[in-house]
Structure 1
């Protein structure tokens, strides 16, 4: 535990550990600090979170303290009798994310000691009320949320897990959860099953009632977790003595062939079953001694697999990405020109066979040639460890779960459109399809809009060289100029995200409200003036419909 001393009274000490304690007699006795907690954003958490890491004491006013723990930042002005929880800071440490198919779709994620949360895929704004909710939370205002899965045929059924294989099934409508294990079940105890802290499990892509779970064996349930059966040998007993493992790190099933199963362990042992688990073959030769974090069976070739492995658990910070076209009999490294940082996840684009996305220790990378070369995806993602990636196929959104900076997402349509340009096409300017936008909700009693309902409009285009371009919007019927802006476009794919504001008025008068005029619902034409030509696209601003 860390110890902090009041700079104005050396008899007053604070100690940090699982709990936070204070002494006013130089350490002869201590009392636990709890206090009443208020939150900036709505939260069901009722207590001061556990696992305290850092403390600050105001050197001129020691009543004013701030503590950082696994629940975030808490500030008190009365030495901990009352706390303000600054839970408006996007700093979630996600282990795993999953997406449902609702409209709009929801993102679910297991968070380090902050339970499991879920919410709509909408851009975060600190000024808005947070729409995210806890799927569950423990009595100490946290708990480790691990893997989450949503039944693709019934979004009311959500599976989530806590550490070491503690799985539950939740009925969202009834707001009730049932423990389904398998770690708490008889089969686990009788067979002395072992689980990693974040134990992998999946819903079969062929039958949403079938679940697979990884321990030192692979387990299967065909009734939504009510009953489990062991369907593998002990996968931790590798033929390579250096790869003797504790438990599974990843489990996957091919979307092309039902019963084509894959699992990998925390020391690099890889196994495949072609018959639903009746028999297994180890194909670990050529893989390093590292934790298999991610297995991606290809949706274009049943024999093709991608692996992301990390050695960070063993102080090995190298990058390990592999592919195989023969179910793992032979492996080929696709690290290529990636920075030598640990890799956590690799996924395949659902539309284009040659496009891959990799989540690594300091960002997301894209390859358009199946791993021969890589480049960083985007420029505004912080240099943070990317724990998981998922694609919402209906919306074509790539969602990124980071371990320290929350969740990000981007739409892949511009990337797909740019990918399809030929070499010659890349020498000219292109304006890609502009999605329809939504007019924000208007406040009932005045001309202002509800700022929480503003959604930025992405405008994407390709430029063969760095150049000045002009963007204009005109009414499609009378060609009245609505909006104009000049920017310097970089070479390649560009995206300008417009806030729909056509005019802004400011005044120093005492009762003047700074006013923004937004483009009205209707049909419009967007023009891109380039040094070569003028390109145009029609788009629609829809009425507020919620």
Structure 2
């Protein structure tokens, strides 16, 4: 979504189009929205919408009214936020230059009070009380360069304290793969990126049935692990080596839907057979094929 000023709600029956963007209230600083503003529908309440500026905004009436449930969750670095002071360059009204913004929001499928937020200047924040208090867990991500863009957070369907975070540093000429997992609400993180992965990552998707089955979207295609990230394999069956910007798994059809750069949408039909594959089965298949 190109900035939150472009959030609309469309009624298919009446053809009514209504702008529903969050607005600054008295006392607020200017709201900073990313070019790709995160807009997330609630899991526990179908009328709930989350949107991110430097704050997390929540609506429980489909955008009719909004409230802030966080303070500024970014680094709020003034050297990166004063886009108007650009040395004479014209500022783009689209907000393309906005920095220190929230880029990803994830509500826990298991507990509506648990919400994650990641920013384009490297912060990972979590609330366990619906936004009353937030904890910055960025310092617990060992081996991650400071201020690396948090591109996606995936809250687990298996455990309240489990989540995955993907970081993208290519804008700073860092093409390494950064994929982390926590099982204790961000107190500790484990890197699940391995040498098997070629290219920086943008998105990760957890399977709904098998916690060890994960799908990773990278700059060079799709990677799959069946052992929770210890080993990754590139999926190349009718799958081009294109940049995958977003992944989603359809809960009813088990289709893996991928939004790619340059080729639109690619759908991997029914990934449920992959749930039966274990490292032991792969080892037997490899040995028998030799």
Fold in common (TM above 0.5) = yes
Distance 1:260 1:424, change over 3 A: closer
The separation in 2 between residues aligned to 1:422 and 1:192, in whole angstroms, is: 55
Say if 2:222 is the partner of 1:364. Answer: yes
The separation in 1 between residues aligned to 2:152 and 2:199, in whole angstroms, is: 16
Say if 2:148 is the partner of 1:274. Answer: no
* SS state at 2:177 partner: strand
Say if 2:231 is the partner of 1:231. Answer: no
Using the TM superposition, give the Cα deviation of residue 236 of structure 1 relative to its aligned residue in structure 2, in angstroms: 1.3
Which ranges of structure 1 fall in alignment gaps of 5 or more residues? Answer: 1-145, 147-161, 428-461, 467-546
- Normalized against structure 2, the TM-score is what? 0.84
Q: Deviations over 1:9-35 (max 9, x none)?
A: xxxxxxxxxxxxxxxxxxxxxxxxxxx
Deviates more, 1:406-415 or 1:340-349: 406-415
Residue aligning to 2:11 = 171
Residue aligning to 2:171 = 313
Using the TM superposition, give the Cα deviation of residue 164 of structure 1 relative to its aligned residue in structure 2, in angstroms: 4.3
Q: Deviations over 1:327-362 (max 9, x none)?
A: 112221111123342211011011101111000001
Question: How many correspondences in the alignment?
Answer: 268
The separation in 1 between residues aligned to 2:180 and 2:267, in whole angstroms, is: 25
8 Å CA contact 1:199, 1:214 repeated in 2: yes
Say if 2:123 is the partner of 1:294. Answer: no
Residue aligning to 1:391 = 249
Please provide the CA RMSD for this pair.
2.7
* SS state at 2:275 partner: helix
The separation in 1 between residues aligned to 2:63 and 2:11, in whole angstroms, is: 13
Using the TM superposition, give the Cα deviation of residue 463 of structure 1 relative to its aligned residue in structure 2, in angstroms: 11
Greater helix percent: which structure?
A: 2
- Aligned pair partner of 1:402 in 239, 242, 260: 260
Residue aligning to 1:214 = 52
Q: Deviations over 1:222-261 (max 9, x none)?
A: 11111111111111137x9999961101011100111101
Distance 1:311 1:165, change over 3 A: farther
- Normalized against structure 1, the TM-score is what? 0.46
Which ranges of structure 2 fall in alignment gaps of 5 or more residues? Answer: 82-98
The separation in 2 between residues aligned to 1:367 and 1:424, in whole angstroms, is: 11
Larger radius of gyration: 1
The separation in 1 between residues aligned to 2:12 and 2:103, in whole angstroms, is: 28
8 Å CA contact 2:73, 2:119 repeated in 1: yes
- Aligned pair partner of 2:289 in 465, 470, 486: 465
Distance 1:422 1:338, change over 3 A: closer
Using the TM superposition, give the Cα deviation of residue 369 of structure 1 relative to its aligned residue in structure 2, in angstroms: 1.1
Residue aligning to 2:107 = 253
Equivalent runs, 1:29-44 vs 2, <5 Å: none
Using the TM superposition, give the Cα deviation of residue 325 of structure 1 relative to its aligned residue in structure 2, in angstroms: 1.2
Query: Relative CO higher for 1 or 2, CA cutoff 8 Å, sep ≥ 6?
Result: 2
Using the TM superposition, give the Cα deviation of residue 318 of structure 1 relative to its aligned residue in structure 2, in angstroms: 1.4
